[in-house]
Amino acid sequence: MIGFQIKKRHRAVEASIVDRYKQLPVANISDVMSRMFAGGPDLRPMHNGTGLAGSAVTVRCRPGDNLLVHKALEVAQAGDVIIVDAGGDLSNAIIGEIMVAYAKRRGLAGIVINGAIRDSAVIRQGDFPVFAAGVTHRGPYKDGPGEINVEISIGGMVIEPGDLIVGDADGLLCVPFDLVDEVYRETVNKHEVEERMLADIAAGTYDSSWVDTRLASLGCDL
């Protein structure tokens, strides 16, 4: 039934690739993706700041209802990220301490909720990655409907099952499954350029002449 179904995921990013992405800043990944993709400014880390990386198990649920999220905890494999489109509604929490503890026990890489969580003080002290849009003490309902492993969209960013989800203190990003190798290579190059810039700044040899060059090209009177 459309709107109330559980599908199987047919692909996932290899663990070795996920591990390599963990070493890269999300901002650099975003830069090489033309700064055109993001999970929206509302999705923020609710935990102690540990980085997030893993293959997506997608969930679309009715705002305020977490029945299909409970099922996703059973469907997901170790290293997966459960990413939930709960409509961005903050009236009822979708997950709390118990579900986070269970996800961690099952070896999942993290949970993303386009909606609210609760038990935020406990989650904030922990190292299990949880990203969400807000906090409320009001609990969820468990009536459905909802869908697992379907295409979802959060803040205009489309996520398909098996895509790579990455996150850090700057926010959340989805790297499409077919582009993970290309994006990784370009991100490494970008990161190395920035590391050299930081080294030049520390050494007092940083060249900022590009600023005037750019201003002149735009017609600015200098």
Summarised one tens digit per residue, pLDDT across range 108-163 is 999 999 999 999 999 999 999 999 999 999 999 999 999 999 999 999 999 999 99
How far apart are alpha carbons 164 and 81 in whole angstroms?
Answer: 9
Task: Please check whether residues 195 and 159 belong to one and the same domain.
Answer: no
Tens of pLDDT, residues 86-100: 999 999 999 999 999
The binding site for substrate comprises: 96-99, 118
Please tell me the total count of domains within the chain: 2
What pLDDT is attached to residue 40?
Answer: 81
What pLDDT is attached to residue 41?
Answer: 84
What pLDDT is attached to residue 144?
Answer: 95
Average pLDDT over residues 3-20: 96
The binding site for Mg(2+) comprises: 119
DSSP E strand boundaries for the chain: 4-6, 44-45, 52-61, 80-85, 93-95, 110-117, 130-135, 146-148, 152-154, 157-159, 164-168, 171-175
Kindly report the pTM of this predicted structure.
Answer: 0.94
Q: What residues are paired with 159 via a beta bridge?
A: 152
105 confidence band (pLDDT: 50, 70, 90): very high
Task: Please check whether residues 202 and 166 belong to one and the same domain.
Answer: no
Residue type (1 letter), 212: D
Question: For position 73, which CATH number holds?
Answer: 3.50.30.40
Domain that includes residue 200, residue range: 186-218
Task: Please check whether residues 56 and 139 belong to one and the same domain.
Answer: yes
Task: Please check whether residues 171 and 195 belong to one and the same domain.
Answer: no
Mean pLDDT of the chain: 96
The binding site comprises: 96-99, 118-119
Task: Please check whether residues 88 and 197 belong to one and the same domain.
Answer: no
2 confidence band (pLDDT: 50, 70, 90): confident
